[in-house]
């Protein structure tokens, strides 16, 4: 379902809309019948419901967005508490910079 969400989000952005503004007007479902997730209802003013072909054109970028979200989560956990980071910066900013660089290098965005 998350990849469909990303595809719909990208489709909306390509049509000058945002998911946050339109999420109440869109319902995604997955009946667990093996056919996968789909757009159940669509009530977005000025933008027609996307076809499967239109949504599939966003597959690569949707996968990239999904992967980057996982990377952001991994980085956030590795960075640790902001208070601890501030203390680390105060004590040794160069060590903090090296640690953050390693985290980013170990978890590169696509």
Q: Provide the pLDDT confidence category of residue 1 given band limits of 50, 70 and 90.
A: low
pLDDT higher for 1 or 53? 53
- Mean per-residue pLDDT of the chain: 94
Cβ 61 vs Cβ 104: under 8 Å: no
Query: pLDDT value at position 68?
Result: 93
CA 5 to each of CA 60, 63, 70: distance values in angstroms, whole numbers, following the listed order: 13, 11, 15
- pTM to 2 decimals? 0.69
List, in sequence order, the alpha helices (H) in the chain.
Answer: 2-14, 19-22, 52-56, 59-79, 82-91, 93-106
- pLDDT over threshold 80, residue 96: yes
Looking at residues 84-102, what average pLDDT do you find?
97
């Amino acid at each position: 379902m998350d990849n469909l969400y990303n595809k719909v989000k990208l489709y909306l952005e390509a049509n000058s809309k945002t998911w946050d503004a339109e999420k109440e007007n869109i319902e995604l479902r997955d009946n667990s019948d093996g056919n996968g997730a789909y757009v159940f209802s669509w009530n977005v003013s000025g933008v027609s419901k996307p076809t499967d072909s239109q949504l599939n054109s966003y597959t690569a970028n949707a996968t990239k967005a999904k992967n980057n979200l996982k990377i952001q989560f991994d980085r956030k956990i590795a960075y640790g508490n902001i208070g601890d980071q501030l203390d680390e910066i105060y004590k040794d900013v160069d060590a903090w910079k090296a640690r953050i660089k390693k985290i980013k290098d170990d978890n590169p965005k696509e």
